[in-house]
Amino acid sequence: MIKNNALKLYGETLSSRLLLGTAQYPSPQILIGSIQSSATQVITVSVRRESGTSRDGQRFWQLLKQSNCKILPNTAGCRTVKEALNTAQMARELFNTDWIKLEVIGNDDTLQPDVFGLVEAARELCQQGFKVFPYTTDDLVVGEQLLAAGCEVLMPWGAPIGSGRGLQNPKALESYRHYFPEIPLVVDAGIGLPSHATQAMEIGYDAVLLNTAIADSGQPTLMAKAFAHAIEAGRFAYLAQPIAQRDMAQPSTPVAGTPFWIS
């Protein structure tokens, strides 16, 4: 039995380390099928996209309830602190949760977080009792500021949202892991392939949050299963303590002492 394979986020214990977005799926049935195939226990929902008061929003909310997953509303698309705060407060009323994935976008082309607004919004939301999951960069100083603001989880990006590039700066993400050894870290955004998710887990990240890589694939339910296995494999590999890389070859079969036959 492998120890330490449960994930804890703000006091919640989870067996799955895949957090799944719910946007862009071809149909509600494929969305539910992908949630089931991924074995996720946390799904993210854009408050700006789904209105809880409209007819479509109510249908979508009822659909999500069928998944029996923890809802993580997000402030996707917000570009100011005020907009993010208002959206978070609306999410708490709509979904009856203090969890919020905080996004404050600073650049329209890269969708890079506005880290100054992010820290300000995170501080205010933490003071209001929210449990904040901040979508941030891999900047260590920003990470420190978010923790000082009251966040207990950090979610640095792997690459721009929806780009599918994977970990564009793995060394920085490794440094982030070493710098915050006791903080739950989630790679959020930019993952395109199951191998990208495995890489994140192998360097010690606690979970991966993704959406586009599954929703926009040819077979989302199958891709969801692939990611579930990839994340599990990466976590097990990290716990197993991989061998160090070497500059020279080292034979797996010793040469000394082996018999030589002469014909």
The alpha helices in the chain, defined as continuous H runs, are 28-38, 55-65, 81-95, 115-127, 140-149, 170-179, 194-202, 212-215, 220-239
Residue matched to tokens 């915050």? 180
What is the C-alpha separation between 47 and 260, in angstroms, rounded?
72
Q: Which two tokens stand for residue 143?
A: 């990470």
Is 101 a known active-site residue?
yes
Per the structure block, which two tokens stand in for 35? 């949630």
Do 207 and 232 touch, CB atoms closer than 8 A? no
Active-site position among 8, 101, 131, 225: 101
Spatial CB neighbours of 86, under 8 Å, sequence gap ≥ 6? none
Residue closest to 13 by CA, chosen among 206, 235, 247: 206
Report the alpha-carbon distance of residue 212 to residue 96 in Å, rounded. Answer: 26
Q: Are 233 and 198 in contact (CB under 8 A)?
A: yes
Would you please indicate which residues are annotated as catalytic (active-site) residues? 101
